[in-house]
Structure 1
Amino acid sequence: MASVRIILSLLLLAALGIIAQCGASRAIKAAYWPSDVEIPASSIDTSHFTHIYYAFLLPDPTTFRLNETVSDQTKLPEFTGMLQKRKPAVNTLLSIGGGKSDRNVFSRMVNSSETRTAFINSTIEVARKYGFDGVDLDWEYPADERDMSNLALLYKEWRKALDKESKRSGRIRLLLTSAVYYASGFQVDGPPRSYPSQAIRKYVDWVSPMCFDYHGSWENFTGEHSALYDPKSNISTSYGISPWIRAGVPSRKLVMGLPLYGRTWTLQNPNVTGIGAPAVGNGTLTYEQIVEFNVQNHAAVKFDEESVSYYSYVGVSWIGYDDVGSVRRKVRFARSQRLGGYFFWALGQDKNWIISRQASRAWDH
């Protein structure tokens, strides 16, 4: 009998191991839905995603509680209500901040226990009120090491509050995620600083490095704004992901960002058309707009093996972007690095779900 019990115990442990492995290997296939886009939440094809973010709510600059605009009060329940009815179902996360938010508001918010608590409590209240599955912070970007140290305290206190609320309410704990710079350490508009990797490892479900906007209108030459590799510089996704892992953030807690838009330039010389050509950066186009532009203008389309990106040009117009081939390669890179998954910025920019569909298939196969 003892030997039978041992065998059964071993079989049970093996089964639990398989279950755990299956749970750990479930990819995060996420995307942000800007609440001001024309695409309604009801039209999101959830078969390509596991998580959708509502973007964005902002904290009040004085009280640090979340502001719900009149528009938000209509769109928030529509967003969660519609997506909860879809098949397959997806998790919804409430994202706070964004590229257009005032980073100084976040800096003031994290600066004391009282203001952090006011912010945290408000995020939980709003997330529960509208039926979200998690909360997401998109602070672009903490300005210095003091901000980063306070961010670590925010993560710690936020997770503690989420655990406490879950225990008290008997509901599944809200997820805690955060959009971050593409590299764990950086020097942009300020002194060198690094994200609190140990706090992220202990308290955050995952962080989402924004692996795009490497090049743009601030430069006088063409560039691939989401290059996977760049042998000439450290501005690339492959370079950015590595220090996150070296800093101690588990690879499974990294969800790699992918853009559904490209950046545009005006060439100085229409006969000099490669990456790095002298040019004036002048804006962005969605993937859908790029496809239509290329067809309508008979643009030359090139795949750059070095950066794993595409570019097209006609006359003096030049666009750097991702297409099906490069997105497949980047998703497979994420999987090869054992990352937690990927996310897109942003819904409403794809064309007939082409990129979203191919990314999902590339991960699964």
Structure 2
Amino acid sequence: MPSFSKMLSASSSVLLLFSYAFSTLATPVMQRPSQFSNITGPQGDQRGIYGRNFQPQDIATSTLTHILYSFADCDASSGAVKLTDTYADQEKHYATDSWSESGTNLYGAMKQLYLLKQANRSLKTLLSVGGWTYSQSGHFNFVTNAGARATFISTAITLLEDNGFDGIDIDFEYPSSTDQGNGLASLLSELRSALNAHAASKGDTTPYLVTAAVGAGPVGYNYLNIPQMNSALSFFNLMAYDYAGSWSTVSDDQANVYGGAITGFSTDKALTYYLEHGASASKISMGVPLYGRAFTQTTGIRQPFNGIGSGSFENGIWDYKDLPRPGSTVTEDTNNIASYCYDASSQTLVSYDTPNIAVKKAAYINSKGLAGGMYWELSNDKKGADSLVATVARELGSLDSTLNHLNYPGSKWDNIRSGMGGSPVTTAAPTTTSSTSAPTGAGCSGVSAWSASAVYTAGMQVTYGGYLWTAKWWTQGETPKVQDSYPWTQVRAC
């Protein structure tokens, strides 16, 4: 999901692998250019618990590393972050929830996400703030004000601690000036520093996560301060979809990796821009749509159309689980890495990703050294062998195994503070001694030297500069050094 409706979005390491949502909230690149090994993450929309009847318990967690719970909102003036549906988030009682237990306790989807984390220690959850609608309403106007940014950060961290999240995702679509782009970068940097301090205050050595949804076209990235964002972010979530839709002049691919001669959009073109402007490939998760965009009264791909027809929950948008449409023929373009189904009798074409195309996208992710896959949104996926999330995760290989956070002593909820009644759990790593003094010859026999081309996951060890290093999380091409934002811990001298 990014699907409950709240939305969940997921990532395979993604960062995002589910998003709570009833319906796809994706929007056109023309109007808002498109929202881990490896990570694999979906977005989830809190609204999904309603019309779609997609509950947290329905999430298949084995192929996910991160879940983005969407969307919280923020005040355009003060910057304060707030939840948008406290019933779905914190109050709804599920069948396993008691109405008579003592204390002040968290319920709703957020409790269920915490329980998923307890059962799956490598599953991380992030609270996603913003989204298309709130962004377009000016709710991120505060980013140019340092005081309002501080309020955003303090209220976001309170929500994180209260409700048991592992990080904050910011979905600002999109900065419309250099000042706003720099303001967003400052917000991310300040949030990164504040979360590091928050972790240190609790004795946690596993970093909290900071991620951002970014667009795949000029409207989305023209004003971004990418180098500063790269330093602050755990991941960029590249919204590599919505390249074509109702706003287009012809029916076309909505999530093609290459090509895009008519729309002007392709994932490879967007990725190239980010890499050339300061983003690390290992910090970019590539969006994969779990929905299709429809075109009616058309004779085929890249042909005129007149209308978008009906959809699963919204006109012109079909959940992946409802595709291909009955009576249609599926075409896979392996050159551009795109696919669609077409029904000649109804003259309806739907652009969406098939499992074969998902395999090719996973290969692209691997070939470029990206962080993983991100999906909008989880409730739209199929189950079993045809699941796009599972397909990408399988092709990525080993997934991120970094531990999540379960220790929230500052939560206002009794059951979160107590770890749902168990013993408090720490996410602190075993104590190690770091040193910046000259190597003393302690020996690192059998440990390979660090390689810029190799992929390392949490717990893997290398030697570099006369020291033994342990990877904190997935990394490639990042030189070992002692720095909080870096993926390496210096263990001892060799």
Alignment TM-score, normalising by the size of structure 2: 0.63
Q: Secondary structure in 1 aligned to 2:248?
A: coil
2:42 partner letter: A
Hey, what does 1:73 align to over in structure 2? 90
Q: Which runs of 4+ in 1 moved over 6 A?
A: none
Contact 1:266 1:280 in 2 (8 A): yes
Q: In 1, Cα distance between the equivalents of 2:249 and 2:366?
A: 34
Hey, what does 1:148 align to over in structure 2? 181
- Alignment equivalent of 2:358, drawn from 285, 308, 327: 327
Hey, what does 1:288 align to over in structure 2? 321
- Alignment equivalent of 2:38, drawn from 11, 19, 27: 27
Contact 2:80 2:151 in 1 (8 A): yes
- Alignment equivalent of 1:64, drawn from 76, 79, 104: 79
Q: Secondary structure in 1 aligned to 2:128?
A: strand
Aligned pairs (5 A) from 1:235-250: 235-250=265-280
Contact 2:216 2:265 in 1 (8 A): no
2:214 partner letter: V
Q: In 2, Cα distance between the equivalents of 1:44 and 1:187?
A: 33
What CA deviation, in whole Å up to 9, does each residue of 1:198-245 have, x standing for no partner? Answer: 112211111111000000000131111000111625410111101111
Aligned pairs (5 A) from 1:11-160: 26-37=37-48, 38-68=53-83, 69-71=85-87, 72-74=89-91, 75-87=108-120, 89-103=122-136, 105-160=138-193
Q: Mean Cα displacement is larger for which, 99-108 or 327-336?
A: 99-108
In the TM superposition, what is the alpha-carbon distance from 1:317 to its structure 2 partner?
1.2
Q: Secondary structure in 2 aligned to 1:83?
A: helix
Contact 1:76 1:130 in 2 (8 A): no
Q: Secondary structure in 1 aligned to 2:362?
A: helix
Alignment TM-score, normalising by the size of structure 1: 0.85
Q: In 2, Cα distance between the equivalents of 1:339 and 1:102?
A: 27
Contact 1:83 1:89 in 2 (8 A): no
Contact 1:80 1:130 in 2 (8 A): no
In the TM superposition, what is the alpha-carbon distance from 1:67 to its structure 2 partner?
1.7
Contact 2:141 2:180 in 1 (8 A): no
Distance 1:106 1:231, change over 3 A: closer
Contact 1:267 1:277 in 2 (8 A): no
Contact 1:263 1:284 in 2 (8 A): yes
Contact 1:156 1:203 in 2 (8 A): yes
Q: In 1, Cα distance between the equivalents of 2:305 and 2:63?
A: 36
In the TM superposition, what is the alpha-carbon distance from 1:149 to its structure 2 partner?
1.3
- Alignment equivalent of 1:347, drawn from 371, 378, 390: 378
Q: In 2, Cα distance between the equivalents of 1:122 and 1:303?
A: 46
Structure number having the greater helix percentage: 1
Q: In 2, Cα distance between the equivalents of 1:61 and 1:142?
A: 13
What CA deviation, in whole Å up to 9, does each residue of 1:171-206 have, x standing for no partner? Answer: 3432111110125xx137xxx823111112211111
Q: Secondary structure in 2 aligned to 1:105?
A: coil
2:254 partner letter: H
Hey, what does 2:23 align to over in structure 1? none
Contact 1:136 1:177 in 2 (8 A): yes
The answer to whether structure 1 residue 264 and structure 2 residue 280 are counterparts is no
Distance 1:109 1:103, change over 3 A: farther
Count matched residues.
329
Q: Mean Cα displacement is larger for which, 101-110 or 200-209?
A: 101-110
Q: In 2, Cα distance between the equivalents of 1:158 and 1:167?
A: 14
2:169 partner letter: D
In the TM superposition, what is the alpha-carbon distance from 1:248 to its structure 2 partner?
1.6
Contact 2:45 2:70 in 1 (8 A): yes
Q: In 2, Cα distance between the equivalents of 1:95 and 1:205?
A: 14
Hey, what does 1:181 align to over in structure 2? 215
2:45 partner letter: P
**How high is the sequence identity, in percent, across the aligned residues?**
26
Hey, what does 1:11 align to over in structure 2? none
Q: Secondary structure in 2 aligned to 1:279?
A: coil
Hey, what does 1:357 align to over in structure 2? 390
Contact 2:135 2:174 in 1 (8 A): no
Q: In 2, Cα distance between the equivalents of 1:107 and 1:51?
A: 24
Distance 1:145 1:174, change over 3 A: same
Hey, what does 1:170 align to over in structure 2? 203
1:266 partner letter: T
Hey, what does 1:299 align to over in structure 2? 328
2:219 partner letter: Q
> Which structure exhibits the higher relative contact order, with contacts defined as CA atoms closer than 8 Å and separated by 6 or more residues?
2
